Structure 1
Amino acid sequence: MISIRRYTLLAPRRPRHPGQLISTRPAGTVLAHVVGGRAERFVLTNAVLYDGIFAAEPLDRYL
């Protein structure tokens, strides 16, 4: 069975307007998302935020 999850993009370049995305991909998947006209990579996680939405962590900023 396919589950659909909503993710909040943590620490995007526009912190006052965190992006959200919907995906059927499993945790651990890396996705590119355009933020402020620039593509950024995020990894989908199993971490649930206070509002029940899953977290997508920025990948490129931890290198």
Structure 2
Amino acid sequence: MLDPTILTIGGIVLGIAIIERILERWGVINLVDQFSEIMRFILPVTFYSALIYFFATFMF
């Protein structure tokens, strides 16, 4: 369960979410809107790619 690839992908997504929250607190709403539009596409693609990778490399 502690596969470095999965942890790296999760860390990147978590980092982007934290950056989005920081920008929201700073009041840069237009940039946050652009981030949310990009993340609306990237998050599902990343999730399903990581899920496929996990099951492809998981030893049953």
Based on CA coordinates, which of the two structures has the bigger radius of gyration? 2
TM-score, normalised to structure 1, is: 0.22
Q: Bigger relative contact order, structure 1 or 2, given CA contacts below 8 A and separation 6+?
A: 2
